[in-house]
Amino acid sequence: MNLNFYPGPSKLYPSVEGYLLDAYRSGILSMNHRSGAFMEMLSETIGAFKEKLAIPTDYEVYFTSSATECWEIITQSLVEKGSLHLYNGAFGQKWYEYAKRLNSGCVAYPFDLEEVPDIKETSLFQPADLLCLTHNETSNGTALPEQIIKSFRELFSGIIAIDATSSMGGVELPWQSADVWFASLQKCFGLPSGMGVMVVSPKAIQKAEQKGDRNYYNSLLFIRENFLKNQTPHTPNILGIYLLGKVMQEVEPIERIGARIQVRAEGWYSCFEKLSIPALVQNPEVRSQTVIVLQGLESFIQKIKKNALAQGIIIGNGYGKWKSTTLRIANFPAISGKDIESLKDLLNHSI
Ligand SMILES: *Cc1c(COP(=O)(O)O)cnc(C)c1O
């Protein structure tokens, strides 16, 4: 069995093997999704999800097909004027490009890798009614510091949407500082791909009602009407919902998972320092805890990849413009301490 450090699809929680069999045997996978048994399972999954992730009780949780779908839902359902996109990497940029196709009133505000986008000029937000942020930029291993998200909340009166695809489930999130948070399951949740999750504030629901979009099968209002009845707008990923429910019942509260992830992230960055391998991100303030990126000459990166492959260890390739000069290491909760020791050994021997 390979050791997998790819930042998505990533290593599954080992218990998923048993849950897959349980799901098959329980009969839930061939049950009608309007049945009482399904509705109960959906409601239990959302209950466990909200409890373990410490989501405010008045925020609602819906399941979608992917994080990418959430990009579109947000533009279709929550933007009347335009959206402002702050990003420093490939995923934030892609979100901007998807949004622009649906609404020409999008403004891009790219910032540098090492930079904290500390905006004090409220005029910059005009006339956007939606601010789009990427909490954890999976392509380059940066993350937005919590105080910056809080400061945007104070400066900007519109809706704040945050892509937390590679951090939700691994770190504590300041839920109240934004209105829409979304992720997909193949990153920090240690689950198979093919399902997204959206966490929505009362303020966002109010905005959706004000806009009143009901044109799409995935209009936020239509999704919501269904979820309020423990139903879904289309035949959902029943297996994904089942597995998420089981894993959420099993995992520790996010406070404890987050503390462990933080210790491990510090361990990774100090390991690089000892080995004199530079991290791509030098500013500790904006370093990700869940996606750790190291950089080096192409020949060095190739050598590590080759050594890893020989030992059955999968490391994430660089992404976009950092494709051949960086490596990405997932620091997700499903990865064990033993896995990490194996990869550290390999790096030690590759120097
Ligand atoms: C992986 C990822 C996505 C895309 O997720 P899908 O499930 O493929 O839609 C979006 N944003 C970020 C930050 C990601 O890491």
3-class SS at 207? helix
Give the pLDDT mean for 327-341: 97
- Specify the pLDDT at position 286: 98
- Specify the pLDDT at position 1: 63
Q: Mind listing the pLDDT tens digit for each residue in 293-312? A: 999 999 999 999 999 999 99
Residue 125 has pLDDT above 90, yes or no: no
- Specify the pLDDT at position 126: 83
Give the pLDDT mean for 216-220: 97
Measure the CA–CA gap between 44 and 70, rounded to whole angstroms: 23
Smallest CA-to-CA distance from 242 within 28, 76, 61 is with 28
Smallest CA-to-CA distance from 167 within 257, 249, 248 is with 257
- Specify the pLDDT at position 124: 83
Residue 35 has pLDDT above 80, yes or no: yes
- Specify the pLDDT at position 279: 96
Does any ligand 1 atom lie closer than 6 A to the CB of residue 68?
yes
Residue 277 has pLDDT above 80, yes or no: yes
- Specify the pLDDT at position 6: 96
Residue 328, both tokens: 């990405």
* pLDDT category of residue 68 using cuts at 50, 70 and 90: very high
Give the pLDDT mean for 82-96: 97
* pLDDT category of residue 89 using cuts at 50, 70 and 90: very high
- Please, are residues 201 and 172 in contact by the beta-carbon 8 Å criterion? no
Residue among 87, 91, 188 to mutate when testing ligand 1 (max atoms within 8 A of CB) = 91
Model pTM?
Answer: 0.98
Determine which residue's CA is closest to atom 7 belonging to ligand 1. 66
Does any ligand 1 atom lie closer than 6 A to the CB of residue 331?
no
Smallest CA-to-CA distance from 314 within 8, 74, 16, 29 is with 8
- Specify the pLDDT at position 122: 78
Measure the CA–CA gap between 275 and 111, rounded to whole angstroms: 30
Measure the CA–CA gap between 216 and 253, rounded to whole angstroms: 35
3-class SS at 37? helix
Residue 145 has pLDDT above 90, yes or no: yes
Mean confidence (pLDDT) of the chain: 96
Write the DSSP assignment of 300-344 as a string of letters.
HHHHHHHHHHHTTEEEEEP-GGGTTTEEEEE--TTS-HHHHHHHH
328 CA distance to ligand 1 centroid (A)? Answer: 15
Smallest CA-to-CA distance from 78 within 94, 55, 99 is with 99
Q: Mind listing the pLDDT tens digit for each residue in 193-203? A: 999 999 999 99
Query: What are the CA-CA distances from residue 58 to residues 23, 55, 200, 205, 255 (Å)?
Result: 30, 8, 9, 11, 20
Does any ligand 1 atom lie closer than 6 A to the CB of residue 138?
yes
- Specify the pLDDT at position 120: 81
Q: Mind listing the pLDDT tens digit for each residue in 150-192? A: 999 999 999 999 999 999 999 999 999 999 999 999 999 999 9
Hunting for tokens 């997204």 — which residue is that? Answer: 196
* pLDDT category of residue 335 using cuts at 50, 70 and 90: very high
The ligand 1 atom at the shortest distance from the C-alpha of residue 184 is 7
